[in-house]
């Protein structure tokens, strides 16, 4: 699954995380935080789906 942010930066979340360790603009940080939040939410939804027996 590829996100819009992944397409925009042409790299994975981990790649963007490493890139931002050396400095980032505010829009880059905003994109990173949005991407991180979406990933965390996806993990929570998948866990809830498993626990309730809903297929993901």
Please tell me the distance from the alpha carbon of residue 8 to that of residue 48, in angstroms, as a whole number.
30
pLDDT on residue 45: 93
Specify the pLDDT at position 56. Answer: 55
- How many independent structural domains does the chain possess? 1
Query: Of 46, 50, 17, which Cα lies nearest the Cα of 31?
Result: 17
Predicted TM-score (pTM) of the model is: 0.77
Per residue of the chain (56 residues), what is the pLDDT tens digit? 567 888 999 999 999 999 999 999 999 999 999 999 999 999 999 999 999 988 65
C-alpha to C-alpha distance for 55 and 17, rounded to whole angstroms: 31
Q: pLDDT value at position 49?
A: 92
Range of the structural domain that residue 35 is part of:
4-52
- The pLDDT of residue 34: 93
Residue 11 DSSP code: S
């Amino acid at each position: 699954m590829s996100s819009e942010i992944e397409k925009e930066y042409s790299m994975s979340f981990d790649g963007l995380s490493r890139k931002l360790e050396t400095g980032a603009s505010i829009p880059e940080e905003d994109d990173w935080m949005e991407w991180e939040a979406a990933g965390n939410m996806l993990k929570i939804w998948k866990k809830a789906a498993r626990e309730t027996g809903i297929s993901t």
